Amino acid sequence: MIGDTPINAGYLVASALFIIGLKMLSRQQTARRGNMVSAVGMLLAVIMALLNSGLDYRYIIIGLLIGAVVGAVAALRVALTSMPEMVALFNGFGGLASLLVGWAEYEKTRSLWADEPASAGLMMLIGTALAVLIGGVTFSGSLVAWGKLSQKLPGRPILFPGQQVLNLLIALCALGLAVAFIVDPAGMHVPFLVLVGLSLLLGVLITIPIGGADMPVVISLLNSYSGLAGCAAGFVISNTVLIVSGSLVGASGIILTTIMCKAMNRSLSNVLFGGFGATGGSKGTAAEGEAKAIDTEGAYYVLEAANSVVIVPGYGMAVAQAQHAVRELAQLLEGNGAQVSFGIHPVAGRMPGHMNVLLAEANVPYEQLQEMDDVNAQMDNCDVAIVIGANDVVNPAARDDATSPIYGMPIVEVDRARAVFVLKRSMASGFAGIPNPLFFNENTRMLFGDAKASIEALVAEFKEA
């Protein structure tokens, strides 16, 4: 072990690298470097923690090797389409780590607290209770989110009578046990274990009522929870850099959650107190009319004459892995004299920034990615809007139908464009299960089939011409 001054200096540098890396992640041009800067900060933090721990490094090295192998395999084998599920698992395991830290420290020190009650510091006790409570909720809630995203669990909201009341009672019991533990930690071993169980149960119960279409907000919130749990664990083991990094993750997650809630026209209280995304009753006014199909040749002739094109990607683009074909089509349209932009809805896909990640991976210029409000401002002058696998985020019922469950949710208003091409496999509803009247508009044409195949066919038409 070395002195406190070098360790604290190392922690300070690591914290600064976290903040700089987080700032760099806000721009596509610097995001990769920002990720590396943050990774260097984490490596430095780990090294400082090990130098200050006095632990047997053999077990540390074994753990590092196992973690490195698991991480490398996951990075190489997990497709971008499965990234939301991977993020959910990462959030969950972060919460589990915080829970285990709090639990392990309690088991290690409770006999000491029984002999010397004054040795239990208040901040450590509060941190232990919060690490267990928030960590447990994060772990089990993230597993449910992973199950919904991977379709191993039903994506629809799972509801039962008295659900809100039960959630509230369990939350109050868990908080009561946490307070009792803080007051008398030595004599609360069994209640402490009950607190662990209740936190895990609460995570399940507050996540199952959430529909799959609302998962981006849930992923963001659980990410914040994992940061808060890590911050609490930092107080448990008196680790400064863990407190700082956990606070950064918790704060940024809450900010992002607020942005996502605004994009969904939801309140944060809906998320915090459960039942978020549970839509019951009316599905809105039934969409009526006859959908008009178009083939790739017909779509090509319209696009060839277009001066402005807005592309609106959705989860269907991720499933078809069509982002590279989309970039190529955009380049050909620009070469033909059209102005091309991408309209990105904040909750398109299954996690925050899902479409941005996919398009960045395909090297689409960041300047072409426009936020919803900016692209809506120019939609009346748009010749063609191409909707690729998006559904609920372009559904005009959110604007026009007061009986729709998504009424009031801001959308990308593609229906105002002169022509709309919707690329879908079928006429099926989106993840929210709500009919979309856009499909029957006079200016809408349906280009059925796999999104990647359809885009590649359009690319071929331009190249042949």
Catalytically active residues, by annotation:
392
Concatenating the DSSP letter of every residue in 264-276 gives: HT--HHHHHTS-T
Angle CA(224)–CA(225)–CA(229) in degrees, nearest 5? 120
Element (H, E) at 328: helix 323-335
Contact 347, 216 (CB under 8 A): yes
Nearest to 265 by CA among 217, 313, 211: 217
Give 186's DSSP letter.
Answer: T
Contact 294, 447 (CB under 8 A): yes
Helix (H, G, I), strand (E, B) or coil at 423: strand
Element (H, E) at 24: helix 4-24
In whole angstroms, give the CA distance from residue 113 to residue 110: 5
Angle CA(409)–CA(413)–CA(418) in degrees, nearest 5? 165
Q: How far is CA 390 from CA 81, 147, 269, 348, in A?
A: 14, 22, 27, 7
Contact 101, 232 (CB under 8 A): no
85-90 contact pairs (CB < 8 A, 24+): 85/146, 85/149, 85/150, 87/219, 87/223, 87/351, 88/142, 88/143, 88/145, 88/146, 88/149, 88/219, 88/222, 89/142, 89/143, 89/146
Contact 8, 48 (CB under 8 A): no
Estimate to the nearest angstrom the gap between the alpha carbon of 295 and the chain centroid.
Answer: 35
Q: Which two tokens stand for residue 198?
A: 């209740």
Q: Which two tokens stand for residue 269?
A: 């209280």
